[in-house]
């Protein structure tokens, strides 16, 4: 089985487009019948999941299996498969489900492929705005086919910083404490509500940095490839790879200073 990255990227874009269409079609009843009838919760009352999350993940997994039956898969809504090809897909069928439910145009289908354990392909598609972000390791990042790059701003005091919050109350309290210290020291904060799109916002210079504690691998995988290919640095607070413990993405001129500040605030050590 080929591991041609361009082919993996084309498959990811096709599947993200198809899943995005399904997600948009399935939103109509939500608008008519309302939240209670159409969404249930997972880890906390704030952690929503809809029939569209499940149907989109099913469609993506079916599409991968039909084309590449020996690849491994990890999906947010429980889709998991072992593989033998060295390729593993990480799938978030709707990243930003809360926005989807409330009809706020910041949600995305996020599909990444790791090759031999290395994040190599990332596709993040916002079906509401019909915006496709893509990145292939070593080949740059694109928004609707046009090359994008991260900002060059180097002053933390005037940096626009995106972040997000977990679903569990105790974690949120810790995240709010970090934010209470950081907010007076930067230009402003943005909370868009889709980690995958936050990382794409870094990639196209809409924000200068993004950090969050407690993401899942499927939230951050595709956006990490895209942000890196746009020139951003993406890691944790200890010199390692981004992980559920912590992800910090920033243009290289800001990364170390912000990492130091977040380390001082113990941002990766709170609940």
Site for ligand IPD, rule CB under 6 A: 76, 92, 95-97, 164-166, 193-195, 212, 215, 219
- Closest CB to ligand IPD among 193 and 217? 193
Three-state DSSP at 246 gives coil
Active site residue 219: yes
- Closest CB to ligand IPD among 166 and 235? 166
Residue 194 beta carbon to ligand IPD: minimum distance, rounded to whole angstroms: 5
Q: Which of 94, 111, 186, 202 is catalytic?
A: 94
Active site residue 202: no
- Closest CB to ligand IPD among 91 and 113? 91
Give the Cα separation of 236 and 217 in Å (integer).
13
Q: Which of 77, 92, 208, 268 is catalytic?
A: 92
Active site residue 76: yes
Residue 134 beta carbon to ligand IPD: minimum distance, rounded to whole angstroms: 19
Taking every pair of Cα atoms in the chain, the longest distance, rounded to a whole number of angstroms, is 52
Residue 191 beta carbon to ligand IPD: minimum distance, rounded to whole angstroms: 8
Active site residue 95: yes
Q: How far is the CA of 208 from the CAs of 39, 243, 257, in angstroms?
A: 34, 20, 12
Give the Cα separation of 146 and 144 in Å (integer).
6
Asked if residue 162 lies in contact with residue 215, where contact means CB atoms within 8 angstroms, the answer is: no
Residue 166 beta carbon to ligand IPD: minimum distance, rounded to whole angstroms: 5
Q: How far is the CA of 207 from the CAs of 27, 161, 211, in angstroms?
A: 29, 6, 11
Q: Which of 97, 98, 224, 233 is catalytic?
A: 97
- Closest CB to ligand IPD among 68 and 222? 222
Residue whose C-alpha is closest to residue 108's, from 123, 90, 83, 126: 126
What is the number of the residue whose Cβ is closest to ligand IPD? 164
Give the Cα separation of 255 and 180 in Å (integer).
20
Non-local (6+) Cβ contacts of 53 within 8 A are: 76, 77, 93, 94, 97
Q: Which of 95, 114, 208, 229 is catalytic?
A: 95
* Residues known to be catalytic: 76, 92, 94-95, 97, 219
């Amino acid at each position: 089985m080929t591991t041609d990255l361009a082919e993996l990227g084309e498959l990811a874009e096709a599947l993200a487009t198809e899943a995005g269409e399904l997600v948009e079609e399935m939103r109509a009843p939500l608008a008519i019948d309302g939240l209670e009838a159409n969404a249930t919760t997972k880890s906390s009352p704030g952690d929503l999941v809809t029939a569209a999350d499940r149907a989109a993940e099913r469609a993506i997994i079916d599409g991968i299996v039909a084309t590449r039956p020996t690849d491994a898969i990890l999906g947010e809504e429980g889709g998991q498969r072992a593989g033998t090809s060295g390729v593993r897909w990480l799938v978030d069928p709707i990243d930003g489900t809360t926005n989807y439910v409330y009809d706020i145009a910041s949600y995305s289908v996020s599909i990444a492929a790791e090759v031999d354990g290395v994040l190599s392909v990332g596709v993040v598609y916002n079906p509401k705005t019909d915006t496709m972000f893509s990145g292939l390791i070593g080949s740059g990042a694109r928004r609707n086919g046009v090359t994008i790059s991260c900002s060059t701003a180097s002053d933390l005091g005037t940096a626009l910083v995106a972040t997000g919050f977990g679903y569990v109350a105790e974690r949120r309290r810790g995240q709010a404490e970090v934010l209470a210290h950081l907010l007076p020291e930067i230009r402003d904060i943005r909370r868009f509500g889709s980690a995958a799109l936050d990382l794409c916002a870094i990639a196209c210079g809409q924000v200068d940095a993004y950090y969050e504690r407690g993401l899942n691998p499927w939230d951050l995988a595709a956006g990490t490839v895209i942000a890196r290919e746009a020139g951003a640095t993406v890691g944790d607070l200890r010199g390692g790879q981004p992980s559920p413990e912590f992800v910090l993405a920033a243009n290289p001129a800001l990364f170390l200073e912000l990492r130091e500040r977040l380390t001082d605030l113990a941002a990766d050590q709170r609940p």
